[in-house]
Amino acid sequence: MTRKIITSYQKLPIEVKKALNNTYPDGVDDEIQLIPNAFTGTSFKGIFYEYNDVVYLIKYDSQINNIAISDDEDEDDVDTDNDDLIDLESE
């Protein structure tokens, strides 16, 4: 069973950020889609990314064009409380 999580890029775990950077070393510009929000009637920019049996819907600010993380970023800099992660685990 695949878990589904909606989150922002800033709230991604560091290992997912690194995997995303390895998958898209030139950035995610070509992968970003306009995704409708059925609850609010608005849309947001984001990408779908699968990592370790989890499908992430990663929301991006419209100002973000090219995402890359530096090698000196460590887990201490990442907010791990995950309060704003939405787990859409299918039943």
| Cα–Cα distance, 46 to 57 (Å, whole number) | 7
Q: What is the pLDDT of residues 2-11, one digit of tens each?
A: 899 999 999 9
In a domain, 78, yes or no: no
In a domain, 29, yes or no: yes
In a domain, 46, yes or no: yes
In a domain, 40, yes or no: yes
In a domain, 72, yes or no: no
Q: φ and ψ at 34, to 5 degrees?
A: -90, 115
44 pairs with which residues across the strands? 35
In a domain, 20, yes or no: yes
Q: What is the pLDDT of residues 41-77, one digit of tens each?
A: 888 899 999 999 999 999 987 544 344 444 444 444 4
> Residue type at 85?
L
In a domain, 11, yes or no: yes
Location of structure tokens 């290992």: 15
Q: What is the pLDDT of residues 75-90, one digit of tens each?
A: 444 444 555 555 555 4
- Does the global pTM surpass 0.75? no
Give the number of domains in the chain: 1
Tell me which residue of 65, 43, 52, 39 sits closest to 5, measured CA to CA: 52
Residue range(s) defining the domain that contains residue 21: 1-63+86-91
